[in-house]
Amino acid sequence: MIQSAFRQLSRWAEDDAIACILMDGAGDKGFCAGGDVQKLYQSAIDNPGGPCDYAEQFFVEEYQLDYLIHSYPKPIICIGSGIVMGGGLGLMQGASHRVVSESSRIAMPEVTIGLFPDVGATRFLNDLPQGLGLFFALTGASINASDAMSLGLADHYVESSNIGDIVQQLEKVSWTKDIKKNKERVTSLLADFAVSEDKRNNDVPSELANCRDEIEYACRSGALGDVIHALDSIDTDSGWLKKSIKTLHHGSPLSALLIFEQLRRHRYVTQKAAFEADLVLATNCVRYPEFAEGVRALLIDKDRKPKWAFKHFSHV
């Protein structure tokens, strides 16, 4: 699918008959929950220590597609309803118009499988304010549409019942050969379907707002150990935050350290450089047994009892 999407988008970029691209998920579950991790797992266990040809080629092609979307000359609308996680969020972040709805659940949960947030997350997580990107990467926390909007991970909030009408209206737009004007027309059309911020926050109350200050403070604590200690020390009634921190401790200690260094070392890189850094890290991660063990525990045997290589990040 990745190869087909790359070829088709490349053709449409040069086709004057195509003015705008709409990306949406098939079915009712959501836009995209990420790549076929089980195939990556098979490649990893078949080639311990690497090279893992299938997995490594998959990452190359996935990041090429993501970068194409980021640099695409024409407007791309991504309907990010339902599940938008991992590779799905990577696709969405490159779109010129990122749309969410009341059903959206957005996350980068790679810490639970011995990996790290890739698909350009080295850049877009670092763009989040005050260390929140580090929090989402370490905990795999899932956020809703209101929080995605407030953090700049989405541009437009619409009710899912209106998505069909949006598509119909897009078909009626008087497109031109002026790409800038076409993007403005898409923005205007989506604004016509947008609900007020007050209604959005009432329909989908923020899960982050009540503990945001504490999270930001914790994630500016310095070394990884200080960050984790500060997160553990937050006195909160938030079930969402408690679950997020629990996921951090259940995830891979090696991944936690990789994530911390990933975001620290590449804080100011370009989007292209972020994909290059992600590729180096992903290639090495899939060759190391931590990834295969994480996938085994979560998706293959489903015992949810991973035997991580290290019991604590300080042991790495």
Give pLDDT tens digits along the chain (316 positions): 899 999 999 999 999 999 999 999 987 778 887 778 999 999 999 999 999 999 999 999 999 999 999 999 999 999 999 999 999 999 999 999 999 999 999 999 999 999 999 999 999 999 998 899 999 999 999 999 999 999 999 999 999 999 999 999 999 999 999 999 999 999 999 999 999 999 999 999 999 999 999 999 999 999 999 999 999 999 999 999 999 999 999 999 999 999 999 999 999 999 999 999 999 999 999 999 999 999 999 999 999 999 999 999 899 8
CATH code of the domain covering residue 170: 3.90.226.10
Domain count, the chain: 1
Amino acid, res. 158: V
Query: 206 to each of 113, 159, 183, 212, 294, how far by Cα in Å?
Result: 27, 16, 29, 10, 30
Q: In terms of pTM, does the model score above 0.85? A: yes
Per-residue DSSP letter, 144: -
Torsion, Cα of 180, 185, 187, 189 (10° steps): -170
Looking at the DSSP bridge assignments, the partners of residue 107 are 85
End-to-end CA distance of the chain: give it in Å, rounded.
37
The residue segments making up the domain with residue 280 are 2-315
Tokens representing residue 178 in the block: 């002026």
pLDDT, residue 201, reads 94
Is residue 294 within 8 Å of residue 302, measured between CB atoms? no
